[in-house]
Amino acid sequence: MSFDDKLDKLRANTQEIITLNGISALLGWDQQVNMPVAAAEERGQQLALLGGLIYDKTTSQENGELLSDLEAELKNSSDEDLKAEVNLIRRQYNQLTRIPKALNLELIRATTISHGAWAKAKAENDFASFEPHLTHLVELIRQVADCFGPNDHPYDALLETYDPGLKTAEVQAIFGGLRERQVALVRAISEAQQVDDSFRWRTYDVSMQRKLNPILASRLGYDWQRGRLDESAHPFTTGFGLDDVRITTHYSSADALSSVFSTLHETGHALYEQGLNRKQQGTVLASTLSSSLHESQSRLWENMVGRSRQFWKFFYPTLQAFFPENLAEVNLDTFYRGINKVTSSFIRTEADEATYNLHIMLRMELEIGLLSGELKASELPELWREKMREYLGVTPPDDTRGVLQDVHWSGAMFGYFPTYALGNLISAQLWHKLLAEHPEIPEEMANGELSTILNWLRENVHQYGSRYTAAELVRKVTGTGISPDPYLDYLTAKYSDIYRL
């Protein structure tokens, strides 16, 4: 078989796996949006069956032999894109071959059932009913991590799942530097004259929120021919291919802006997926490799754009028109300062930019404790409350607003949370570079024009898909590695203005 024949065969096998993963993702989307609660067990069986097919096709002897042959022939090749494509397929092959099939399928089944248990427990403030599911998932994840040893730290294997090359020590070092400066900033803000955000906590018509959010997503550039907006207990984005990228949000009559910023956040994720290189459709390169990069896109649109004064200079009259009884007497300056108010909140997804990373540090510490065996799932509620007091000075009044608030652990997504904070850092680095190349952007935003931002991200981030790791792409675009300094500088400048520091 010639080199080209082998490559064609490997790509054909990969295309089948991508299609099966798309079907699996569709069932997962339906589970969180439409599926009846009682169907969890059957859905788990369906997803496990698909997972078995994906496992067998990915880890087949044929794939292993094709990879070995192609890698040998590519050693002296100058085609870096082709090398990257084969390396990505190798990564997927190695990841699954190290995990026993039975463990892989049990994890799929258990997470499907666990999601329904979590949703019910959260709604009923009943951690005890979720704890057995979480205990089982932690044990499964420990077994998965053991498959990838030895590592410098057991948590490395989980980080690798979401960000290739990321190490626990590296993240802890970054967080150590972040914590000191962010805590100092939060302390300075707490001693300043506080801003008024009382307008946020009035009753907002949910039916009007449902009409508003699609308008915002459209203005950012979301393609409705290739996506849709639905509701879920926890907002998320999922893609089944380049032409089917869906987002969800949630609505609260007590805070309309919660759904606004959730929609801006998820639209940022979706724009990344919709901007992947169509020439690479059907290959592993037309996918996203780094969760940190993904989060950088959502956080850039949610915060650098969506919480800026310039963005609301244009959009605030529209928001006032939707909610005149709430906002007619609230001027733009009061609104801008109010939506950026720094306060220690219970809920991560509603946290301000100055305190958000503290929520992530808390979760990473708990995950490391669970993985090492130093912490039992049953101990989480009380330890969560202790760490919230330590990090943010507040104590959640219940587990719904405490340990049960996030969906991730029900899906065994241990190792994912750190990518949220790293995404913040990358978003600031990209934003700094973008403004340096296009200083006209603030004025454009004030006129409702956001295409320069999207086009720049398409060219510098989206088109590359899985071609680069987060660290590689950040260096390619900005000339430096991942650094907390631009993010901390951005926060300091922004909040010094808002709080007159």
- C-alpha closest to that of 349 among 363, 334, 367: 363
Let me know if 266 is a catalytic residue.
yes
Q: How far is CA 77 from CA 1, 73, 464, in A?
A: 19, 8, 20
Neighbours of 68 (CB within 10 A): 11
Residue 483, exposed/middle/buried by CB under 10 A (0-12, 13-18, 19+)? middle
Record the tokens describing residue 294, joined without a space: 């993904």
Record the tokens describing residue 330, joined without a space: 């609230």
Question: Cα-atom radius of gyration of the chain, to the nearest Å?
Answer: 23
Hey, which bits of 94-159 come out as E strands? none
- C-alpha closest to that of 469 among 196, 102, 187, 164: 164
Tokens 């070995």, residue?
68
- The 3-state secondary structure of 432-456 reads HHHHHHCCCHHHHHHCCCCHHHHHH
Among residues 85, 160, 266, 353, the one annotated as catalytic is 266
- Cβ contact 205:327 at 8 Å: no
Q: How far apart are CA 212 and CA 311, in angstroms?
A: 15
Neighbours of 426 (CB within 10 A): 30
Bridge partners of residue 238, in order along the sequence: 246
- C-alpha closest to that of 114 among 458, 447, 411: 411
Catalytic residues: 266
